[in-house]
Structure 1
Amino acid sequence: MKIAIVGAGAMGCLYGAKLSTVSENEVYLIDVWKDHIEAVRSKGLVMEENGVLVTYDRVKGTSDPEEAGFCDLAIVFVKSTLTSMAVKSNKAVFGPKTIALTLQNGLGNIDLIRAEIGEQNVIAGTTAHGATMLGPGAMRHAGSGKTIIGELDGKQTERIRRISALFTEAGLETDISDNVLGLVWDKLMVNVGINALTGITKLHNGALLDHPEIEALLEAAVSEAHAVAEAKGIRLSFEDPIGHTKDVCKATAANKSSMLQDILNHKTTEIDMINGAIVREGASAGIPTPVNYVLTNLIRFMQK
């Protein structure tokens, strides 16, 4: 399968590297970070896994989507704030039969992608893997977990089975869901509870639960998001999203959330696709979301 990774950050590199180990795959990492792409082209992609450095030299790096051309599968891994721009600027990889898979954080990516290439070509999913960049051409696989993908209408199609099998063959354990939109919301609940609060307080994930006043804000933010999901008829996987979010805090206690990393590195965050999305969806459903409104505006202010 010919595969394009649109956005070769840490997670994009992880999936690109793993998928390149399947002999019949041709994998392109597409990114605007010139030094990173040049390092991949000249030395291969270096991944640290369990303290061991592994070089993946079959993955191809490029900043020119024309070099890749139409692909069978395009995995979108850019930040949610860049989704529309990334699809538009990489139209050369999206042919009439190209399947676009979003494994991004936040809400709204599916709509942004299908607005550019059509609904029938879009599938979605979530990943529990973790990864961080170490520098140009180098990254660390920080944590393993399942990938779950599905058709937007929940059907079990030949293409979704094929992609699931391919990912699993590449060492990315993958399941198929008939409720992928619910899974996106499951992950959104966790991000709503953790990301903005860690960005504001500078706390690692687990430390949010060490401070009762911060834990109370986590509970309130997730509770609002849960109410919005129920109003929209979203079928969640967890009866207790607050408890699940706290479990994730404990399981990733030492982690710096992606939003905290963005704040520390003075980068634009995904706040508008996470807590900001709850504010927007709440307004459309008539559900008040005051805690998420405050968290969203505080992060927006910090970004300035």
Structure 2
Amino acid sequence: MHHLIFGSGLIGSYLGSVMTLNSASVAYVARGVWKQRLSQPLQLTDYLGNKGTVDAQHVVDGSMDTLPDVVWLTVKCTALASACEALTDWVGSDTVIVCCQNGISAHAEVKRYFPRHQVLRTMVPFNVVIAGEQHLHKGSEGTLVIEQSADNVLTDSLVNILSHPLLHATSSDNIEAVQWAKLQLNLGNGVNALADIPVKAMLENRYYRKVIAALMSELLTVARARGMQLPKVARLPGSLIPWVLRLPDRVFNIVAKQMLAIDPTVKTSMWWDLHNHKATEREYLYGALVRAGEEVSVPCPVNALLNALIAQVERDNDTASYTPLPAQVMYEKVREVKGRI
């Protein structure tokens, strides 16, 4: 099959490079620094010490002689509308579109643009950062999950083309529950962005952890009200994570040792967005959860608060940096809307 990575950034370039290591036929639609980066050899590493190197890759400037069998749509949620409009020139009648966005609503937006195409959802659990000008580093664990298609052969092929020591992949016939489970983990992204510190340092602070636990508890309440049972996508079942996050620091450092086994410099994509003066995916995370809660009469005041705090930074973010929100200040803001957490 011919694969096209559309909107090649950190995740798209990493996925495409792993496919190339597996001898797949891969092309990219990229621009700016990513177009330049992909035109030269690229090094891949992960937090476990696995390594790989790919040669300069095929970046498409214009039309392709053969339209791709699979398009991997790797833009952020905030760029979905413009990406879908541009994507019409790259999609054939039989092209499968694979959505790699965060949140729980991106797939429906893509499906509105391409109602006759097979659109599959993918959950990408790990973090990729630039460790050097030509060096992509996967800094956290997690197994990529692809939605099970009507054609098992297709799904198996997609899983196989991604499976590599640098990337673990599988499939699921209940991708909606998988995405909700991933959303639970993503709720820490906004806390990290507002804290303006690495994820590891954030998790070592009990005040920040208790805020994240409150966010997650609201999601779990909404999921139960919707009759959803969330699969395990981390080392701990989702229902136990808030309890572990609330533990005192000394106990947490022992019980959650694997949770802290991440690169000490890793920050979330939402942090990168705020620091690069870009719109964040807050509405696809916190906003989507608040709306989902309203549908089943479950209020989510902490998620609404985080959404509002991030929105305020987006409005005011006209300088090179912004004022971080200290842990105890954030904790007290949450207590004002939630009470005891």
- Which range, TM-score by smaller chain? 0.7 to 0.9
Q: Deviations 1:247-278 (Å, cap 9, x if unpaired)? A: 58534372211112222232221111111111
Structure 1 residue 145: deviation in Å? 3.8
Structure 1 residue 141: deviation in Å? 3.6
Match of residue 4 from structure 2: 4
Does the 8 Å contact 2:45/2:136 carry over to 1? Answer: no
Aligned pairs for 1:58-207 within 5 A: 59-64=57-62, 66-67=63-64, 70-118=67-115, 121-133=118-130, 138-143=135-140, 145-151=142-148, 157-168=152-163, 172-192=167-187, 194-207=188-201
SS at match of 1:298: helix
Take 2:61 and 2:222, find their aligned partners in 1: how far apart are those partners?
Answer: 39
Does the 8 Å contact 1:69/1:93 carry over to 2? Answer: no
Aligned residue identity for 2:57: V
* Shift in alpha-carbon separation, 1:69–1:163, aligned structure 2, 3 A: same
Unaligned ranges ≥5, structure 2: 246-255, 316-341
Q: Deviations 1:23-58 (Å, cap 9, x if unpaired)? A: 3x3211112x334313433x34x1242689854226
SS at match of 1:75: strand
Match of residue 279 from structure 2: 268
Q: Is structure 2 residue 230 aligned with structure 1 residue 236?
A: yes
Take 1:3 and 1:296, find their aligned partners in 2: how far apart are those partners?
Answer: 36
Does the 8 Å contact 1:47/1:141 carry over to 2? Answer: no
SS at match of 2:163: helix
Take 1:165 and 1:205, find their aligned partners in 2: how far apart are those partners?
Answer: 31
Match of residue 34 from structure 1: 32
Structure 1 residue 70: deviation in Å? 2.1
Does the 8 Å contact 2:221/2:298 carry over to 1? Answer: yes
Which is further off, 166-175 or 74-83?
166-175
| TM-score, L = length of structure 1 | 0.86
Take 2:107 and 2:172, find their aligned partners in 1: how far apart are those partners?
Answer: 16
Match of residue 293 from structure 1: 304
The percent identity for this pair of structures is 22
| TM-score, L = length of structure 2 | 0.77
SS at match of 1:49: strand
Q: Is structure 2 residue 220 aligned with structure 1 residue 226?
A: yes
SS at match of 2:302: helix
SS at match of 2:230: coil
Structure 1 residue 205: deviation in Å? 2.1
Does the 8 Å contact 1:36/1:137 carry over to 2? Answer: no
Which 4+ stretches in 1 moved above 6 angstroms? none
Match of residue 326 from structure 2: none
Take 1:253 and 1:26, find their aligned partners in 2: how far apart are those partners?
Answer: 31
Greater helix fraction, Structure 1 or Structure 2: 1
Structure 1 residue 119: deviation in Å? 6.5
Which is further off, 173-182 or 293-302?
173-182
* Shift in alpha-carbon separation, 1:148–1:53, aligned structure 2, 3 A: closer
Unaligned ranges ≥5, structure 1: none
SS at match of 1:214: helix
What is the aligned length?
Answer: 296
